Amino acid sequence: MATKKIEPITDKKIPIAQIRAENVKMREEIAKLKESAYCRMCDSIKDRSKFYVSTDPMCKGGVTPICKECARKIAERVDKFGDSHEPTKESAQLALRYLDKPFIETVWNASIQESENLASGKVKTNAYRAYMKNIQMGQYNGLGWKDSDMFKVRIKYEDEKTEQEIVEEHAGMDTYDSYIKNKEDVIRLLDYDPFEKEPVSDQPFLYSQLLGMLDASEDANEDMMRVSSAIQIVRGFLQLQKIDDTMAKLMGNINEVQDNSATIKSLQDSKQKITSMITNLAAESCLSLKNSKKQTKGSSTWTGKIKAIRDMSLRDGQMNGFDVQTCRGMSQVQEISDASIMKQLALDESEWSDMVADMRVANQRLRKERDSYKEINRILLKENIDLKDYMSEKSISMDSNMQNLRDLYSVFSDSDNGIEFDSDEEGLLDGADNSSL
């Protein structure tokens, strides 16, 4: 099959003079583009003079990502009518973020003063424009938005930190309250602060350890030799802890153990001497369990714990001891046990009659006792409320361990047993809400 030959399309001949003119025009446009930059915000190409200089070494263009006009509109909060408003710190920071310029608090404050200083003769329109002039100075070259003050972590030296910051840094966030309580308890028991000169970072450990060696009763710590030995022992424990930490660091790198062998041996000798000193002091002062003169048999039982609380002469320990008769849990156990016994028993009529007769006598006796104690309780309750009101009127401080009367009498409001307050008792308790602690 024969094919038609396609002739190549050729352009019309252009005069050389026209080509030269177009070439000159293109060169001028290229030169103009090289002197221009693209603004990402207004999507336009502008002269480079319309942009701020960028000193970021990674920015090869040498200008900021957005132009001066777009940044001004952000900082000066230009509204939809084209009116500018006074720039704020937040609006200036937003403009600086788009410009990739740092925000430095001292420069901003100086710029505010400069914009308000009429005596300088070079008053800027507002603080933002003064700031942009100042941030272009040579000492801020190479800084970007990431170098702003809000991203810097302020360094605090030990003498600038508060006591709480030091304790939380070395002992943990949840230890400060315990540290304060232990410190107060030690001072209360000894009437002085034995670790006042110790570094604050070491005090949480010292107070917690010493408190475990002191007796809960203030009068029991009058043996100064024993107290002094306890303080020295606690300081010895702290020294041992620091020696162990230092040895762990020295032996952390197996390649450096040989070089640190002399130091490690010296620390081990010091540790042995301190341990021997602690053992001797504990034995001589009867602080260790082996050499203790206290009778510890049965102290870990419930009865032993209750006895220890009562020996401390604590008000709650004297008033709120465990009582089977008033414990609701034990009452429920007793009821379940009684029901189980009655199920297993097979009583005849004579036995039931004897039981009912005995219960009737006991019931009458208990009712009489209850009525008597109820009247006594009503009188004492009224006197208690009047006494608290009097103390409150006279601004007399009341013991924080005193009971809330409504919580105390709530045991009698058990709906399951059908026990209700009488009108006079309910009125007394309503009056006690404001006076009870």
Strand locations in 87-205, DSSP E?
none
How many structural domains comprise the chain? 4
Q: Which residues pair with 47 in a beta bridge?
A: 36
* Lowest mean per-residue pLDDT among 201-210, 255-264, 310-319: 310-319
Q: Which residue has the higher pLDDT, 219 or 81?
A: 81
Instruction: Name, in order, each residue with C-beta under 8 angstroms of 21's C-beta and a sequence gap of 6 or more.
Output: none
Rounded CA-CA distance 64/53 in Å is 6
pLDDT digits (tens, 9 = 90+) for 341-352: 777 777 777 877
Q: What percent of the chain has a predicted confidence (pLDDT) above 90? A: 16
Rounded CA-CA distance 107/115 in Å is 12
Contact of 156 with 168, CB cutoff 8 Å: no
What would the two tokens of residue 187 be? 């001072």
Rounded mean pLDDT of the chain? 79
pLDDT (0 to 100) of residue 331: 77
Which residue range forms the structural domain that includes residue 67? 29-151
SS3 label, residue 47: strand
Rounded CA-CA distance 262/141 in Å is 51
pLDDT digits (tens, 9 = 90+) for 358-397: 999 999 999 999 999 889 988 988 888 888 888 888 887 7
Residue 161 counted as domain residue: no
Rounded CA-CA distance 23/237 in Å is 90
SS3 label, residue 266: helix
Domain co-membership, 279 together with 353: no
What would the two tokens of residue 435 be? 């006076």
Contact of 100 with 145, CB cutoff 8 Å: yes
Domain co-membership, 212 together with 275: yes
Residue 22 counted as domain residue: no
Domain co-membership, 123 together with 231: no
Residue 185 counted as domain residue: yes
> Would you place residue 419 in the very low, low, confident or very high pLDDT band (cuts 50, 70, 90)?
very low
Residue 180 counted as domain residue: yes
Residue 206 counted as domain residue: yes
Res 272 pLDDT > 70: yes
Q: Which residue has the higher pLDDT, 8 or 76?
A: 76
Domain co-membership, 102 together with 144: yes
What would the two tokens of residue 197 be? 């000169």
Rounded CA-CA distance 258/114 in Å is 64
Residue 437 counted as domain residue: yes
Res 353 pLDDT > 70: yes
By C-alpha distance, which of 65, 91, 97, 67 is closest to 79?
A: 91
Rounded CA-CA distance 198/369 in Å is 62
pTM over 0.75: no
Domain co-membership, 45 together with 143: yes
Contact of 203 with 179, CB cutoff 8 Å: yes
Average pLDDT over residues 270-299: 76
Average pLDDT over residues 262-279: 89
Rounded CA-CA distance 44/120 in Å is 37
Instruction: Kindly tell me the burial class for residue 391, based on how many C-beta atoms sit within 10 Å of its own C-beta (0-12, 13-18, 19 or more).
Output: middle
By C-alpha distance, which of 53, 75, 194, 190 is closest to 128?
A: 75
| Other CB atoms within 10 Å distance of the CB of residue 278 | 21
Contact of 111 with 127, CB cutoff 8 Å: yes
Q: What amino acid occupies position 383?
A: E
Domain co-membership, 92 together with 78: yes
Domain co-membership, 115 together with 129: yes
Res 430 pLDDT > 90: no
Residue 11 counted as domain residue: no
Q: Which residues pair with 45 in a beta bridge?
A: 38
pLDDT digits (tens, 9 = 90+) for 202-224: 888 888 888 888 876 556 677 78
- For residue 393, which phi and psi values (nearest 5 degrees)? -65, -35
Domain co-membership, 109 together with 187: no
Rounded CA-CA distance 265/249 in Å is 14
Contact of 75 with 91, CB cutoff 8 Å: yes
Helices (H) and strands (E) in the chain, counts: 16, 2
Rounded CA-CA distance 395/414 in Å is 36
Q: What amino acid occupies position 274?
A: I
Rounded CA-CA distance 390/387 in Å is 5
Domain co-membership, 258 together with 318: no
Domain co-membership, 334 together with 355: no
Contact of 160 with 123, CB cutoff 8 Å: no
Stated as kind and residue range, the H or E segment containing 356 is: helix 349-393
Residue 295 counted as domain residue: no
From residue 209, give the alpha-carbon distance in Å to each of 233, 235, 380, 430: 9, 9, 45, 47
Domain co-membership, 199 together with 230: yes
Domain co-membership, 201 together with 266: yes
SS3 label, residue 263: helix
Contact of 61 with 54, CB cutoff 8 Å: yes
